[in-house]
Amino acid sequence: MRKPVIAGNWKMYKTISESVETAIALKPLVANANHCEVVIAPVFTSLKTVADRLEGSNIKIAGQNCAPEKEEGALTGEVSPVMLRDAGASLVIIGHSERRQFFAETDGMVNRKVKAAVTSDLTVILCMGETLEQRDKGQAEQVVRGQLEGGLNGLTASDMSRIIIAYEPVWAIGTGRTATPEQAQEMHAFIRRVFAQRHSEDAAQDLRILYGGSVKPDNIAGLMKQTDIDGALVGGASLKAESFGEIVNYKR
Ligand code: PGA
Protein backbone atom coordinates (compact mmCIF):
# COMPACT_ATOMS: atom_id res chain seq x y z
CA MET A 1 0.00 0.00 0.00
CA ARG A 2 1.30 3.42 -0.96
CA LYS A 3 0.76 5.98 1.79
CA PRO A 4 -0.57 9.18 0.24
CA VAL A 5 1.38 12.42 0.57
CA ILE A 6 -0.32 15.80 0.74
CA ALA A 7 2.28 18.53 0.37
CA GLY A 8 1.84 22.30 0.51
CA ASN A 9 4.20 24.38 -1.60
CA TRP A 10 4.22 27.86 -0.13
CA LYS A 11 6.33 29.23 -2.99
CA MET A 12 7.66 32.77 -2.31
CA TYR A 13 4.98 33.66 0.19
CA LYS A 14 4.98 34.45 3.92
CA THR A 15 7.40 36.16 6.27
CA ILE A 16 8.72 34.18 9.23
CA SER A 17 5.88 35.27 11.53
CA GLU A 18 3.25 34.57 8.87
CA SER A 19 4.75 31.14 8.24
CA VAL A 20 4.70 30.29 11.95
CA GLU A 21 1.13 31.53 12.27
CA THR A 22 -0.05 29.28 9.42
CA ALA A 23 1.95 26.28 10.65
CA ILE A 24 0.59 26.60 14.19
CA ALA A 25 -2.97 26.95 12.87
CA LEU A 26 -2.49 23.88 10.67
CA LYS A 27 -1.15 21.62 13.42
CA PRO A 28 -4.44 20.76 15.19
CA LEU A 29 -6.32 20.56 11.88
CA VAL A 30 -4.17 17.68 10.64
CA ALA A 31 -3.22 16.08 13.96
CA ASN A 32 -5.43 13.04 13.31
CA ALA A 33 -4.51 12.61 9.66
CA ASN A 34 -2.92 9.16 9.87
CA HIS A 35 -4.04 8.22 6.37
CA CYS A 36 -1.37 10.35 4.73
CA GLU A 37 1.92 12.12 5.18
CA VAL A 38 1.52 15.87 5.60
CA VAL A 39 4.27 18.12 4.25
CA ILE A 40 4.73 21.87 4.02
CA ALA A 41 7.44 23.71 2.10
CA PRO A 42 8.07 27.22 3.51
CA VAL A 43 10.62 29.66 2.08
CA PHE A 44 14.23 29.09 3.18
CA THR A 45 14.19 31.97 5.67
CA SER A 46 11.21 30.49 7.56
CA LEU A 47 12.25 26.86 7.40
CA LYS A 48 14.16 26.48 10.65
CA THR A 49 11.69 28.46 12.76
CA VAL A 50 8.72 26.55 11.36
CA ALA A 51 10.51 23.20 11.82
CA ASP A 52 11.26 24.04 15.46
CA ARG A 53 7.68 25.07 16.13
CA LEU A 54 6.35 21.86 14.55
CA GLU A 55 8.72 19.49 16.33
CA GLY A 56 6.88 16.43 17.60
CA SER A 57 3.94 17.02 15.22
CA ASN A 58 3.02 14.89 12.19
CA ILE A 59 3.88 17.70 9.74
CA LYS A 60 7.09 17.25 7.77
CA ILE A 61 9.12 20.06 6.30
CA ALA A 62 10.39 20.35 2.73
CA GLY A 63 12.73 22.78 1.01
CA GLN A 64 11.49 24.19 -2.31
CA ASN A 65 14.82 23.79 -4.07
CA CYS A 66 18.43 22.90 -3.29
CA ALA A 67 21.94 23.29 -4.65
CA PRO A 68 23.38 20.66 -7.01
CA GLU A 69 26.18 20.08 -4.50
CA LYS A 70 25.64 18.07 -1.36
CA GLU A 71 27.46 19.98 1.36
CA GLU A 72 29.10 23.34 0.83
CA GLY A 73 31.09 25.37 -1.66
CA ALA A 74 31.57 28.66 -3.46
CA LEU A 75 28.03 28.81 -4.84
CA THR A 76 26.70 32.24 -3.93
CA GLY A 77 23.00 32.25 -3.17
CA GLU A 78 22.56 28.49 -2.96
CA VAL A 79 21.46 26.27 -0.07
CA SER A 80 22.78 22.71 0.04
CA PRO A 81 20.79 19.54 0.86
CA VAL A 82 22.85 19.04 4.02
CA MET A 83 21.94 22.58 5.09
CA LEU A 84 18.27 21.87 4.45
CA ARG A 85 18.48 18.84 6.71
CA ASP A 86 20.29 20.92 9.29
CA ALA A 87 17.39 23.41 9.23
CA GLY A 88 14.86 20.64 9.85
CA ALA A 89 13.74 19.57 6.38
CA SER A 90 13.35 15.91 5.50
CA LEU A 91 12.17 16.47 1.93
CA VAL A 92 12.93 18.79 -0.96
CA ILE A 93 10.94 19.80 -4.04
CA ILE A 94 13.13 19.66 -7.15
CA GLY A 95 12.44 20.70 -10.74
CA HIS A 96 9.25 22.65 -10.14
CA SER A 97 8.00 24.14 -13.42
CA GLU A 98 8.60 27.66 -12.07
CA ARG A 99 12.28 26.76 -11.60
CA ARG A 100 12.43 25.30 -15.10
CA GLN A 101 10.56 28.26 -16.63
CA PHE A 102 11.99 31.27 -14.79
CA PHE A 103 15.41 30.00 -13.70
CA ALA A 104 16.28 27.94 -16.77
CA GLU A 105 16.67 24.66 -14.90
CA THR A 106 17.39 21.85 -17.32
CA ASP A 107 16.88 18.12 -16.76
CA GLY A 108 20.68 17.91 -16.33
CA MET A 109 20.63 20.42 -13.49
CA VAL A 110 17.55 18.80 -11.97
CA ASN A 111 19.35 15.45 -12.06
CA ARG A 112 22.40 16.84 -10.24
CA LYS A 113 20.13 18.27 -7.54
CA VAL A 114 18.23 14.98 -7.17
CA LYS A 115 21.52 13.10 -6.73
CA ALA A 116 22.83 15.61 -4.18
CA ALA A 117 19.55 15.42 -2.25
CA VAL A 118 19.17 11.63 -2.10
CA THR A 119 22.75 11.16 -0.96
CA SER A 120 21.96 13.61 1.86
CA ASP A 121 19.04 11.43 3.01
CA LEU A 122 16.41 13.86 1.80
CA THR A 123 13.27 12.56 0.12
CA VAL A 124 12.85 14.25 -3.24
CA ILE A 125 9.56 15.45 -4.71
CA LEU A 126 10.57 15.52 -8.37
CA CYS A 127 8.21 17.69 -10.43
CA MET A 128 7.38 17.30 -14.09
CA GLY A 129 4.65 18.30 -16.49
CA GLU A 130 3.93 19.57 -19.98
CA THR A 131 2.89 23.05 -21.12
CA LEU A 132 -0.45 23.65 -22.83
CA GLU A 133 1.30 24.04 -26.18
CA GLN A 134 3.04 20.68 -25.75
CA ARG A 135 -0.24 19.02 -24.78
CA ASP A 136 -2.06 20.53 -27.76
CA LYS A 137 0.69 19.23 -30.06
CA GLY A 138 0.26 15.73 -28.62
CA GLN A 139 3.70 15.81 -26.98
CA ALA A 140 2.66 15.53 -23.33
CA GLU A 141 3.85 11.94 -22.78
CA GLN A 142 7.10 12.49 -24.63
CA VAL A 143 7.88 15.60 -22.54
CA VAL A 144 7.04 13.89 -19.24
CA ARG A 145 9.05 10.80 -20.18
CA GLY A 146 12.06 13.04 -20.92
CA GLN A 147 11.76 14.82 -17.57
CA LEU A 148 11.34 11.53 -15.69
CA GLU A 149 14.26 9.79 -17.37
CA GLY A 150 16.45 12.91 -17.30
CA GLY A 151 15.70 13.68 -13.66
CA LEU A 152 16.42 10.14 -12.45
CA ASN A 153 19.36 9.40 -14.72
CA GLY A 154 22.07 7.36 -12.99
CA LEU A 155 20.21 6.81 -9.73
CA THR A 156 20.49 3.43 -8.05
CA ALA A 157 17.68 1.04 -7.13
CA SER A 158 18.13 1.90 -3.46
CA ASP A 159 17.76 5.64 -4.22
CA MET A 160 14.25 4.96 -5.50
CA SER A 161 12.74 4.73 -2.02
CA ARG A 162 13.66 8.42 -1.65
CA ILE A 163 11.82 9.51 -4.78
CA ILE A 164 8.30 10.89 -5.00
CA ILE A 165 7.04 12.18 -8.35
CA ALA A 166 4.74 15.18 -8.74
CA TYR A 167 2.95 15.42 -12.06
CA GLU A 168 2.02 19.06 -12.50
CA PRO A 169 0.73 20.06 -15.93
CA VAL A 170 2.01 23.63 -16.36
CA TRP A 171 -1.37 24.75 -17.74
CA ALA A 172 -3.05 23.77 -14.47
CA ILE A 173 -0.67 25.55 -12.07
CA GLY A 174 -2.17 28.65 -10.49
CA THR A 175 -4.77 28.88 -13.27
CA GLY A 176 -7.79 27.38 -11.54
CA ARG A 177 -7.89 24.92 -14.44
CA THR A 178 -7.32 21.48 -12.88
CA ALA A 179 -6.66 18.46 -15.01
CA THR A 180 -9.70 16.19 -14.82
CA PRO A 181 -9.20 13.16 -12.59
CA GLU A 182 -9.18 11.06 -15.78
CA GLN A 183 -6.53 13.21 -17.50
CA ALA A 184 -4.36 13.06 -14.40
CA GLN A 185 -4.90 9.32 -13.95
CA GLU A 186 -3.86 8.69 -17.55
CA MET A 187 -0.55 10.49 -17.12
CA HIS A 188 0.10 8.96 -13.68
CA ALA A 189 -0.39 5.47 -15.11
CA PHE A 190 1.99 6.38 -17.93
CA ILE A 191 4.62 7.61 -15.44
CA ARG A 192 4.30 4.37 -13.47
CA ARG A 193 4.73 2.29 -16.64
CA VAL A 194 7.83 4.21 -17.74
CA PHE A 195 9.25 3.93 -14.23
CA ALA A 196 8.63 0.16 -14.22
CA GLN A 197 10.45 -0.20 -17.54
CA ARG A 198 13.40 1.89 -16.33
CA HIS A 199 13.63 0.44 -12.84
CA SER A 200 11.47 -2.45 -11.67
CA GLU A 201 7.82 -3.39 -11.35
CA ASP A 202 8.19 -3.54 -7.55
CA ALA A 203 9.75 -0.07 -7.36
CA ALA A 204 6.99 1.25 -9.64
CA GLN A 205 4.29 -0.22 -7.40
CA ASP A 206 5.86 1.52 -4.40
CA LEU A 207 6.35 4.87 -6.17
CA ARG A 208 4.13 7.69 -4.94
CA ILE A 209 2.93 9.95 -7.76
CA LEU A 210 1.33 13.20 -6.64
CA TYR A 211 -0.86 15.42 -8.76
CA GLY A 212 -0.36 19.19 -8.69
CA GLY A 213 -2.14 22.07 -10.38
CA SER A 214 -5.10 23.97 -8.87
CA VAL A 215 -5.85 21.32 -6.25
CA LYS A 216 -8.58 22.65 -3.96
CA PRO A 217 -10.78 21.29 -1.14
CA ASP A 218 -13.56 20.65 -3.66
CA ASN A 219 -11.57 18.64 -6.22
CA ILE A 220 -9.15 16.63 -4.06
CA ALA A 221 -11.50 13.73 -3.32
CA GLY A 222 -12.18 13.06 -7.02
CA LEU A 223 -8.47 13.08 -7.78
CA MET A 224 -7.62 10.80 -4.86
CA LYS A 225 -10.12 8.19 -6.05
CA GLN A 226 -7.92 7.46 -9.07
CA THR A 227 -5.79 4.34 -8.72
CA ASP A 228 -2.50 5.97 -9.65
CA ILE A 229 -2.90 9.27 -7.80
CA ASP A 230 -1.11 8.99 -4.48
CA GLY A 231 -1.45 12.50 -3.17
CA ALA A 232 -1.16 16.14 -4.12
CA LEU A 233 1.28 19.01 -4.34
CA VAL A 234 -0.77 22.06 -3.48
CA GLY A 235 0.22 25.67 -4.13
CA GLY A 236 -2.35 28.45 -3.65
CA ALA A 237 -4.76 26.42 -1.52
CA SER A 238 -1.98 25.47 0.92
CA LEU A 239 -1.38 29.07 1.99
CA LYS A 240 -4.37 29.08 4.33
CA ALA A 241 -4.37 26.52 7.14
CA GLU A 242 -8.13 25.94 6.81
CA SER A 243 -8.15 25.08 3.11
CA PHE A 244 -4.98 22.99 3.32
CA GLY A 245 -6.45 21.21 6.35
CA GLU A 246 -9.56 20.40 4.32
CA ILE A 247 -7.44 19.03 1.49
CA VAL A 248 -5.45 16.83 3.89
CA ASN A 249 -8.69 15.53 5.38
CA TYR A 250 -10.29 14.83 1.99
CA LYS A 251 -13.38 12.62 1.98
CA ARG A 252 -12.30 8.98 1.73
P1 PGA B 1 -1.35 25.62 -7.50
O2 PGA B 1 0.23 25.30 -7.54
O3 PGA B 1 -1.97 24.62 -6.56
O4 PGA B 1 -1.45 27.03 -7.00
O5 PGA B 1 -1.86 25.46 -8.89
C6 PGA B 1 0.70 23.99 -7.54
C7 PGA B 1 2.22 24.00 -7.59
O8 PGA B 1 2.79 24.89 -8.25
O9 PGA B 1 2.88 23.15 -6.97
Q: What are the boundaries of each domain within the chain?
A: 5-248
Spatial contact of 51 and 61, defined as CB atoms under 8 Å apart: yes
Residue type, 36: C
Give ligand 1 pocket residues (Cβ under 6 A).
Answer: 9, 168, 173-174, 212-215, 233-237
Q: What is the mean pLDDT of residues 67-78?
A: 97
pLDDT at 8 over 90: yes
Q: 204-237 b/e with 16+ CB inside 10 Å = b?
A: beebbbbbbbbbebebbebbbebebbbbbbbbbb
Closest atom of ligand 1 to 213 CA is: 5
pTM beyond 0.95: yes
Closest residue CA from atom 9 of ligand 1: 235
User: Catalytic one among 37, 96, 188, 199?
Assistant: 96
Nearest Cα to Cα of residue 83 among 43, 117, 38, 46: 117
pLDDT class for 151, splitting at 50, 70, 90? very high
Superfamily of domain 5-248: Aldolase class I (3.20.20.70)
pLDDT of residue 177: 86
Q: What is the mean pLDDT of residues 72-97?
A: 98
How many Cα neighbours within 13 Å face the side chain of 33? 28
Spatial contact of 159 and 195, defined as CB atoms under 8 Å apart: no
Q: Ligand 1: distance of its center to the CA of 216 in Å? A: 10
Active site residue 98: no
In the chain, % helix, strand, coil (3-state, to 5) comes to 45, 15, 40
